[in-house]
Chains A and B, each alone.
Chain A
Amino acid sequence: MAKKKRRSMLYIPGNNPAMIQQAGVYGCDAVLLDLEDAVALNQKDAARILVRSMLESVNFYDTEVCVRVNNMQTPFGLADLEAIVPMQPDNIRFPKTESVQDVRDFMKEVRRIEKKHDIKEPKMTIHVMIETAKGVANVYDIAACEPRIDAITIGGQDLTADMGIIKTPDGAGIDYARKRIVMAGKANGLDVLDTVFADVNDEEGLKEETEYIKKLGFAGKALINPRQVDPVHEVYNPSEKEIRKAYRVYSEFYKNTKAGIGVFAIDGKMIDAPVVQRAITVLEYANIDIKDIEKSLE
């Protein structure tokens, strides 16, 4: 099966039933039901109960569902975990992760609740959110400390606030953090997701930023409006020319591998393992399963 794509993760306020019930039809790869910053302090209980209730019965189709809980240092974090962990969404997002100890404390509660509810084979993975300078400094250790972490995400708004700088359209202030977090993720085989693009009316700016973060190695981007889904997918989706080339590279690789040949050439250019890996990535983004290519060549 092709790897699950995470080009787009749409933030949905946890206290908005209309948006949550439609979450599966926005066309994004993933949705994030937010109990943290998108919920007013006096509505935290209402959002927690609503999200739990929606997870029990709403069909999200093949959209990945992540829930962002409040940080454990707040009065809401533990109550969020008690309500959400038994529902086992695809992932739970741990905001403002700053250290390995933070992850250990968080996972201790997650495991305690799973044990209490007799969840023996938990399917839920963990997303850690890096949004402070301390978190950026410790991100390599954080990424490697817990096997259930399968994605890291950068929170640009909080990070710039923590750094005492203004978030500019060119992203200069968070550029180092983006690159460092991508490397930490790649070094540990994790997906890395980019921060939101706040101006929903600036489609060109969104595309430009998405082109940039794609080049850096981000698997996708957080979105704040369904209108942002298509522009982001357009950037991540490979062109027909790229797909044809990737198909040819993988087909030749498969045929040559079966014949016991490791390195070969197409149109006079050497094709080795990294080229094949890039072709596989293109095919994944084009929803083409390499197993189907292999079958067609049998």
Chain B
Amino acid sequence: MTPKFKAQAGTFESSDIMVLIEPVAEGSGRQVDISSTVMLQFEEDLKACINQVLDVMEIENVHLIAKDKGALTPTIKARVETAVKRSLGIQEGTL
């Protein structure tokens, strides 16, 4: 699946992560840009966690920007899933 809209999820609060999704052209591949308050220790874990969600949701072409404030894995997963669903136009049960 390929994101259709610009979308975001999360906040800049401590223990949260802000995830921004930008649609890109078919065949462009994934570009994941991360900045984090715990970049030195956890950059690879963050990338792996984000890519895991993108894999499960079968998102191949996307530009994802993540601004992390020390979010735990379940928060990262939830925010990426929310942003992707919003960018796909899937916002089940939301006005």
Contacts and interface: CB of A to CB of B under 8 A. Distances in A.
Nearest to B71: A17
A53 interface: yes
A43 to B, nearest CB: 8
A77 B14 CA distance: 29
Most chain-A CB neighbours within 10 Å: which of B13, B15, B78, B86? B78
B94 A45 contact: yes
Interface string A66-88: 00000000011111100000000
A255 to B, nearest CB: 52
Given A18-B16, A45-B85, A53 B78 contact: yes
Interface string B59-78: 00000000000011111011
A216 B10 CA distance: 42
A17 B16 contact: yes
A168 interface: no
Given A45-B86, A53-B74, A57-B74, A18 B13 contact: yes
A133 interface: no
B52 interface: no
B50 interface: no
A80 B15 CA distance: 23
Interface in A2-48: 16-18, 21, 41-42, 44-46, 48
A20 to B, nearest CB: 8
Interface string B1-33: 000000001100111100000000000000000
14 contacts: A17-B13, A17-B15, A45-B82, A45-B85, A46-B78, A46-B79, A49-B78, A53-B81, A54-B74, A54-B78, A56-B74, A57-B74, A75-B93, A79-B92
Given A17-B75, A45-B92, 19 more contacts: A17-B13, A17-B15, A17-B72, A18-B13, A18-B15, A21-B72, A46-B78, A48-B93, A49-B81, A49-B82, A54-B75, A54-B78, A56-B74, A58-B72, A58-B74, A75-B93, A75-B94, A76-B94, A80-B93
Interface of A: 16-18, 21, 41-42, 44-46, 48-50, 52-54, 56-58, 75-80
